[in-house]
Amino acid sequence: MLTFHLTSGQRISLKERDSIRSLLEQQEHASDIYAVIIDKKLHDLNYRPKHSGEISFVYADSEIGKMIYERTMTFVFIAAVHALYPNTPLTIQHALSSGHYCEIARKPFLTPHDVTTIRAKMEEIIAHQEEITRTVVDTAQAIAHFEACGMENKAALLRQRKSKKSSVYSLCGCEDYFYGILLPHAGYITHFSLRYYAPGVWLSPQAQFHDQRKMFAVFQEFEAWGKAIGVSNVAELNRRIEQGKMDELVLMCETMMEKQLAELAAHIVNDHPHTRFILIAGPSSAGKTTFSKRLAIHLKILGLDPMAISMDDFYKNRTDTPKLADGSYDFESVEAIDLPLFHDTMMRLLHHLPVSLPRFNFKTGLQEKAEIETILQEKQILIMEGIHGLNPRMSEELPHDAVCKIYINALTHLNLDEHNRIPTSDYRLIRRITRDHQTRGWDAQATISFWRNVKQGEERNIYPYQEGADYIFNTSMVYELAILKQLAIPLLKAVKKDSPQFLEANRLQSLLAYFAEGSSQAIQR
């Protein structure tokens, strides 16, 4: 008999060789438990422990639980397509409206009727509570199996990972490999949405769909570009690196970025000649500061004189800042901005009147005024970066044609393989971990610890307004994670096992293990 200790102090017992699912019979709300953590390691519900230890449950509403649910839902979708249309290529491409956009290479093309049929098949698999089995095999065996099935990219990833063992999941005769654990059977999927979204489908655990045509267009543009240069997934990226083509790839990405910046600057100058304020917003580590500087250079080339102003300088005095329920200051609320001062300052600048620009003193928590007044000259244009740049309240008193709103994000099209996508938030978090270490001296544990709060602020203050932007700019680089790997892995390994951030650090290490290591010298030439 094995004995496990919960964090609450409770002890629970399990017969040797029994699975965790047997243990759940003793627990309330067992259907809401999606996984367990035993001695700081995540396990699925079919796991058979060999030793006693500390245990905690992973619930449906946790971040890990949500990832497990989405991954399992995706496998049900893949299995349904496999059953209906054998040997038909399917790709989980990118995020869309709290879900995933997917493409199915149905001949001659996918139709709404096909999607209805797939949905019905998913519902059938779920209703029958079809078992999802996990088989641990030698990685060489898994590689051979996926090569025989025509899944060369998946096989290549397993070769890169260099682990002796790999897990192969099976559902209704469909076998696949996933970056992370799944639920024991399809019956756990209690809610999902599947709808036709030409030319593919939208799959989500959420019922409500918000059309994001601008975001979709940017993703599709980069999906097409990835195919054009032969780097649509990590396996293809690794091949490029192994072939010694890292320098070429970096140059292509940088040239593409400069081309898009030049086009954006030309659009602003030629198509929106009355623009005087460029408001820029994007989530953490999207590259806002670098983007703003590079856009300014391109605007200068076209004869304008850009001037940077920080929205942070328009913070209210700290004593006037709204507070959260716990009594701490809510610096991310738009109410933390002195909107009347902002509007008055912008209107004066628009009409070429002198104004003393504010400077917020973060040490004293007080607004200060610049000693020298500023007048916006005829050829000058303001570039302002801030979390609320897309919020209509920031520009509601300004003439519509005087404002240009730009949303930027690192919208990676690069996925592990056809069925395992890399969330944009993971890409940004790895960026943030390396940046915080280099510029602030922070360790990975510190960055990971507040990342959830950062994401919650983005979901409230940025994402609801992204489709209202005049332009969406993608700052992702297909080679970047291969280079960041050598910087991030030592930081992630330094997170101690007894840290609450250990599991997330370990997950990110596992993600980076799929990448061949790219030389940082390629971006210094």
Nearest to 98 by CA among 221, 197, 212, 224: 212
CA atoms within 13 A on the CB side of 208: 1
Mean pLDDT value of segment 148-174: 93
Cα–Cα distance measured from residue 412 to residue 474, given in angstroms and rounded to the nearest whole number: 8
Question: How confident is the model over 383-398, as a mean pLDDT?
Answer: 94
pLDDT of residue 522: 55
* Residue 136 scores a pLDDT above 80: yes
* pLDDT of 344 over the 90 cut: yes
How many residues can be counted in the chain?
A: 525
Averaged over 288-298, what is the pLDDT?
Answer: 94
- The amino acid at residue 346 is M
- Rounded to the nearest integer, the mean pLDDT of the chain is 93
The pLDDT of residue 525:
45
pLDDT at 329: 86
pLDDT at 25 over 80: no
Taking only the tens place, the pLDDT of each residue in 197-222 is 999 999 999 999 999 999 999 999 99
Q: What is the CA radius of gyration of the chain?
A: 25
CA–CA distances in Å: residue 333 to residues 277, 338, 398, 459:
22, 11, 21, 12
Answer whether 212's CB lies under 8 Å from 97's CB: yes
* Coil vs helix vs strand at 329: strand
Per DSSP, the residues of 282-304 read: --TTS-HHHHHHHHHHHHHHTT-
pLDDT score recorded for residue 39: 87
C-alpha–C-alpha distance, residues 413 and 415, integer Å: 6
| 321 Cβ contact list (under 8 Å, min separation 6) | 315, 329, 330, 331, 336
CB 153 within 8 A of CB 235: yes
366, two tokens: 């007080």
**Structure token digits, residue 116:** 């209805």
Residues 358, 369 contacting (CB under 8 angstroms): yes
Give CA–CA dist 383/308, Å, rounded. 5
The amino acid at residue 249 is L
Q: In what order do the strands lie in the sheet with 11-14?
A: 11-14, 2-5, 53-59, 33-38, 41-43
| Range 341-366 average pLDDT | 94
Q: What is the mean pLDDT of residues 339-365?
A: 94
pLDDT value, residue 520: 67
| Peptide bond just before 86 cis, omega within 30 deg | no
Q: What are the structural domains, with CATH classification, of the chain?
A: 2-59 (3.10.20.30), 65-204 (3.30.980.10), 213-517 (3.40.50.300)
> What is the pTM for the complete model shown?
0.92
Residues whose CB is less than 8 angstroms from the CB of residue 155 and which lie 6 or more positions away in sequence, other chains included: 142, 143, 144, 146, 147
Distance CA 207, CA 203 (A): 10
pLDDT tens by residue, 448-491: 998 988 898 899 999 999 999 999 999 999 999 999 999 999 99
pLDDT of residue 24: 81
